[in-house]
Structure 1
Amino acid sequence: MSAGMTGTVGSGALLAILRDGRARTKTELVQATGVARSTVSARLDALLEQGWAVPVEDPISSGGRPAIAFAFNTRARVVLAADLGATHARLAVTDLAATVIGERTAEVLITDGPEKVLSWLVTALDELLTETGHDLSRVCGLGVGLPGPVEHDTGRPVSPPIMPGWDGFDVAGWLSERLGFPVMVDNDVNIMALGEHWATESSVDQLIFVKIGTGIGGGIITDGRVHRGAQGAAGDIGHIRTREAGENLVCRCGNTGCLEAVASGSALAARLSAAGIPAATSRDVVRLVRGGNGEAIRLIRQTGREIGDVLASIVSFFNPNVIVVGGDIGEAGEQLLAGIREVVYSRSLPLATQHLLIRTSRLGDRAGAIGAAVMVIESVLAPDAMDLALQASTQAVKTS
C-alpha cells in the first residue's frame, strides 16, 4: 500500500500495513494510504477499540513530546491449529503472528473415521486452550490439515486413499457447528509448505515442499501463495510413475509403479523387513539410518534418487527457488538429500538449478501446525474480512 492509492481504505487496509511489525504514527499512515487524516483516525479507532492495534511510544521521536505510534497487536486473538496425520496429530495454539503459545501431540488413527477423530479433536483443543489460559471467545479460527486430497473451498476430503469413511465428509462444517468459529481445512502437505514458507522462506516466491512419510505428497508455493490446482489435487507427486519401479509394485491408489509404492516410509520399512531387518514404520527406517545400518543407508540413498527422478522433471517445469524435504523420512537428512541432489542437478537444466536450494525442513514436525495457523490468519486478517468483522462487532454492540 502506498501514497496516492485510490479507492476506499478501510480499517482492514490499515491493519494490513501494520502487520509488517513496524509501528507507525497517524502521519505515517496518512502518507502510506493517501487518505485524509480524519479517515485514518476513524479507521484506527475501530482497530484500537477491538484490540487489533495498540498504541506505543514512537522510538524515533526527535525530542519534545513523544509521538504516539500504533502497532499490530499479535495477541489480540488466538488461532487453533491441527495437523492430522495417518497415525498421529499435532495441535497448537498460536498468536496472530503464528508464534506457538502451546502445543501437544498424540497418537491418533485417521482410520478411526471422521466423527471419532473430530470428537477427540474438539475435546483436545478445549483442553489445550485451558492449559494456555484462553477460552473459545478468544479464538478467531481453526486450521486443519488432513492426510489426503481436500476440496479447499468446502473443507471436504475427496477420495482419500488412507482415510476410510472420510470421503465427502463436511469436516469444516462439522467442527464449526460445534466450536462456533470459522474452520478451514486443507491437505497436510499444503499447510506444511505454507508453514515453511511463512517461517523460513518468506522472501522466496516459488517453493516446493515434499513430505515423505507413510505416503508421499507435495505442496506448491507460487508467487508466495499455495497453489492447489483446479480441484485441490496439485502436488500429488506420490502417484507419478517412476522409471525405476517394477510392474508388480501395486500402489494403494490401485495403479502400479507409483513413487509412493517405491519410496514412501511404509514401502521402505517393508523392503527392509523383507531383507531380514525389522522395520515397521518410517521412524524405524530413520532410526536404522542414523544407527549406521548399511542396508538402510543404501536404501535411503536409492530412495533419494527415485524421488529426485520425479523432482527433476518438476524442477524443469516449475523452476522453484527452494525444495524442502520433510516428513518422517525427511529426518534421514543428508543421506536422503544426497540421492535427491544427485539426480535433480544432473537431469534438470542448468538454468533451473543454478540457484536452486534443496534442504530438509527447518520447522520439522511443527511445519503443518504453523501452516494451518497461517492459513487461518491470512483469511481472518485479509482487509475485506477484517472490515466485515469490525462492522459486525459494531452492529452487535448497537443492538445489544
Structure 2
Amino acid sequence: MLMEGLAKFPPRPTGAGDMFQLFRDGAPRTRASLVSETGQSRSTVAARIDALRSVGLLVPAGEASSTGGRPPSTFAFDPRSRIVLGVDLGATHARIAVTDLAGEPLTHLDEPLAIADGPEHVLSWVAEAGDKLVAQAGRHRDELAGIGIGLPGPVDHTTGRPVNPPIMPGWDGTDVPAELHRRLGAPVMVDNDVNIMALGEHRTIAPDVDDLLFVKVATGIGAGVIMDGHLRRGAQGAAGDLGHVTVPGAGDIPCRCGNTGCLEAVAGGAALVEQLRRAGATVATTADIVALVRSGDVAAGQAVRQAGRDVGTVLAASVSLLNPSRIVIGGILAGAGEHLMAGIREVVYQRSLPLATQHLRITPSGAGAQAGVVGAAVLVIEQYLAPASVESLINAKEDS
C-alpha cells in the first residue's frame, strides 16, 4: 500500500537541472510557484534561477498578476539561446534545418543528394550547407548545441557508425560523429533516418500518443518504434527494420541485403520502378511513380496499392506484437495518397485481432517532409537539456 501511494507522486526536482525540466512546457513561473512545486527554500530556488540564467536557459518573462503589493517577476525557458542543426539524409535527397532548442525550424534547405556518392562528398555537403544555414539564420557556429543526423541504413546508436548499410556503399563503419565534429566543431548524434522521423512526428504532431509506429515507405522501408512515449531502438539499434522481413509468397526475389523475398525487394521504391518499367512506363525514381499515380495512371495506382497490401502484411504482425494505437505512414511513396494507405489499411484491419485494432488509427504523416529534420534536432535537444547536461553547463560556467 505504501508503494502504491508513493507511485502517485512523481519525485520532486532536486538540482538546477531537474528544476529546469519544469520550464520546458514553456509556461513562465515565479520564484514562489517554484518553491511550491519543488519544496525547496526560496534562497535555493533563487540561486538555481540565477544559475540557469547564467547559461542562457532562463530569461525574465515579465510580471505575474499581483495579489497585493509588488507584482512578482516570472521566468521562462529561452529556446533561442542556442541552435541545433538537424539533418535528414535519404537515398537520393538531403534535408537540413537550423532549429531552436524547442525544435522550431528557423531556416531549412532541401536538395537532391545521392547517399551512394560516399561519406566524404555527402558529409562535406552537410558541413557547407550547415554553415550557410547558420549564417542565414543570423547565428554563429559557436551557438550550436549540437548536430543531429539521420542516415538511411542501420546505425550503431552508441557509436554513430553505419553498420553494413545496403544502400550506402562506402559508409560501413564510417565515424560520422568524428567527421562532422571535425568540420563543424559541435557534438554530433547519429541515428537511423526512420527513427528520427518517428521522433519528429511524435514531438510535433502526436505528443499525446504513447505507442506509435512511424513507417517510412520510400526507396527503403523501415519503422521507428515509439513505446511508452520513448523511442525504442532494440539491443543493437536494429528495431523496426521492416524492410528486411520476408513477405509470404514473395518467393526468391533478391534483395540488396543478400536475402530473398524481403518487403523492400517487393514493395520498396526501386522494386516498383522496375515493375512499372517492365510494364512499359517511363519512370526512373520513386518520385516519378508518385507523379504517375497523381496523374491518374491506372497501372501505377494498382502497383502502389499492392505495395500497400504487402506493407500491411508485415505491419499486421507488428500490430499483434506491439499493439500501437497509431501507425503513421511517411516517406515519398506516402505522397501517392490513398492508394498506398488503402492497401495498408485493408490488410492490417483484416489480419489483426479486433482487440489490437479496436482503437488503432492508420494515418499519413502530419509532419511530412519536416519530420526527419525536426526529429534529428530533437535527438540533440533531449540530450542537451537533460538534467545532467544542464548541471554540466552550469558547472562549466562557474569554473570558467
Query: Which ranges of structure 2 fall in alignment gaps of 5 or more residues?
Result: 1-6
> Which residue is 1:298 aligned to?
302
Correspondence list, 1:213-362, <5 A: 213-247=218-252, 249-362=253-366
CA distance in 2 between counterparts of 1:319 and 1:296 reads: 32
Whether the aligned pair in 1 keeps the contact of 2:64 and 2:73 (CA below 8 Å) is: no
Residue 95 of structure 2 is aligned to residue 84 of structure 1: no
SS at match of 1:19: helix
Q: Which runs of 4+ in 1 moved over 3 A?
A: 1-6, 58-64
> Which residue is 2:191 aligned to?
186
Deviations 1:337-360 (A, max 9, x none): 111111111110111101101011
Correspondence list, 1:136-147, <5 A: 136-147=141-152
- Summarize the Cα distance change of 1:161–1:253 in structure 2 as closer, same or farther, 3 Å threshold: same
> Which residue is 1:74 aligned to?
79
Correspondence list, 1:93-172, <5 A: 93-172=98-177
SS at match of 2:158: coil
Whether the aligned pair in 2 keeps the contact of 1:2 and 1:31 (CA below 8 Å) is: no
> Which residue is 1:23 aligned to?
28
Deviations 1:65-111 (A, max 9, x none): 32211111111111111111111100100011101000011221111
Whether the aligned pair in 2 keeps the contact of 1:244 and 1:306 (CA below 8 Å) is: no
- Summarize the Cα distance change of 1:49–1:173 in structure 2 as closer, same or farther, 3 Å threshold: same
Counterpart residue type for residue 157 of structure 2: H
For structure 1, which segment, 213-222 or 112-121, has the greater mean C-alpha deviation from structure 2 after superposition? 112-121
CA distance in 1 between counterparts of 2:267 and 2:28 reads: 49
SS at match of 1:144: strand
Counterpart residue type for residue 324 of structure 2: P
- Summarize the Cα distance change of 1:294–1:47 in structure 2 as closer, same or farther, 3 Å threshold: same
- Summarize the Cα distance change of 1:199–1:332 in structure 2 as closer, same or farther, 3 Å threshold: same
1:4 offset after TM fit, Å?
A: 8.7
Aligned residues: 394
CA distance in 1 between counterparts of 2:99 and 2:65 reads: 30
Whether the aligned pair in 2 keeps the contact of 1:324 and 1:358 (CA below 8 Å) is: yes
Whether the aligned pair in 2 keeps the contact of 1:3 and 1:32 (CA below 8 Å) is: no
> Which residue is 2:4 aligned to?
none
1:222 offset after TM fit, Å?
A: 1.0
Whether the aligned pair in 2 keeps the contact of 1:4 and 1:34 (CA below 8 Å) is: no
1:64 offset after TM fit, Å?
A: 4.3
SS at match of 2:79: coil
- Summarize the Cα distance change of 1:35–1:3 in structure 2 as closer, same or farther, 3 Å threshold: farther
Counterpart residue type for residue 321 of structure 1: S
Whether the aligned pair in 2 keeps the contact of 1:2 and 1:34 (CA below 8 Å) is: no
- Summarize the Cα distance change of 1:373–1:379 in structure 2 as closer, same or farther, 3 Å threshold: same
CA distance in 1 between counterparts of 2:73 and 2:263 reads: 58
CA distance in 2 between counterparts of 1:240 and 1:394 reads: 52
Counterpart residue type for residue 395 of structure 2: Q
Q: Percent identity?
A: 55
Query: RMSD of the TM alignment (CA)?
Result: 1.6
Query: Which ranges of structure 1 fall in alignment gaps of 5 or more residues?
Result: none
CA distance in 2 between counterparts of 1:221 and 1:101 reads: 26
1:269 offset after TM fit, Å?
A: 1.2
CA distance in 1 between counterparts of 2:294 and 2:71 reads: 57
